Amino acid sequence: MNIDDSIKIGIVGAAGYTAGELLRILVNHPCAEIVFAQSGSHAGEPVWTAHADLLGETKLRFSSQFDYDCDVLFLCSGHGKAKPFVEALPESYKGAIIDLGNDFRLAADAGDFVYGLPEAFKDKIVKAKHIANPGCFATAIQLSLLPMAAMDRLPEIHVTGITGSTGAGQAPSETTHFSWRTDNLSIYKAFTHQHLGEVNETLKTLAPSYTGEMNFVPVRGDFARGILVSVYFDCDLPEEAAVQIYKDYYRDKPFVHVIDTNPDLKMVVNTNKCVLNVRKHGRKLHVISVIDNLVKGASGQAVQNMNLIFGLPEDTGLHLKATRF
């Protein structure tokens, strides 16, 4: 399509965090026309009542109904809800579907859904109609490993990752309550996090000798948004060669930046960027990866996938400024 054409968009489950970020991006996307933003709990209300940052940006109101006269549906209703929704779609709907939940990420559940990690599977995404958007931790971890996976050089991997409270979704819980979360840290789902499945499937696809040995310890951070992962593994390459491999792999990937300095979350929050730093410590190669869990880890990547499906430059509408200060 041309940059002057419009993509008619429907958003299902439009009141949550990922949908709010999606709306924020799409109201300024040069090719986006939002046909409906569905929410059972906010039907009839202006979208800014749930997403206050959109006050004055759009006159869109939440709808209780679905309008299937659109080119793409973004599914933001949460895990476990996308599959029954897709199964109930009328046969007349021929548009694209991008699911931001986990219903179609694993091969056993995917059907005709393509795993939407553009830095690994762009050739498949541009031909796809149905996309399973990757998880936030999964995105940060995979981007830290793709260059080595492409060379089939992945031994046992150790990962520690810290995420902001928005990674847990909008529904309140004890561990997202401000008085509990502030000035506090805790480990959760050590070695069993749900994103390990999709990470290992990608790595095994790209690196046939990879055994799936990944030791992942996630940490709840005392901040709202962002993910930082620290990844290390044995590597016999000298540092200069390893860094060059990463820079070469990501040379034509517009959102991934390999830098020689220590990255921090404020470089990426509010953007679709991933920033990597690669260093050698003895026999270990250490990779730091930082992303915004709601943008590159969710809604920004979903728009990136939409751009690819519809033949647009993948960075269209995604030139977002970090909240640096």
Which two tokens mark 85? Answer: 């929704």
Give the span between the Cα atoms of 161 and 231, in whole angstroms: 8
Q: Which residue has the tokens 């993910």?
A: 227
Active site residue: 31, 70, 76, 136, which one? 136
Q: Any catalytic annotation for residue 136?
A: yes
Which two tokens mark 261? Answer: 């300095």
Give the span between the Cα atoms of 57 and 28, in whole angstroms: 9
**For residue 143, which phi and psi values (nearest 5 degrees)?**
-65, -25
Burial 275-286 (b: 16+ CB within 10 A, else e): bbbbebeeeebb
The dihedral sign for the CA sequence 214, 220, 226, 230: negative
Among 289, 144, 168, 271, smallest CA distance to 223 is for 168
Residue 238 class from Cβ within 10 Å (0-12 exposed, 13-18 middle, 19+ buried)? exposed
Q: Which residue has the tokens 């859904």?
A: 113
Give the span between the Cα atoms of 56 and 51, in whole angstroms: 11
The dihedral sign for the CA sequence 241, 247, 250, 256: positive
Which two tokens mark 322? Answer: 């970090």
**For residue 136, which phi and psi values (nearest 5 degrees)?**
-70, -55
Tell me the DSSP string of 257-284: EE-SS---GGGTTTSS-EEEEEEEETTE
Residues 157, 142 contacting (CB under 8 angstroms): no
Q: Which residues are part of the catalytic machinery?
A: 136
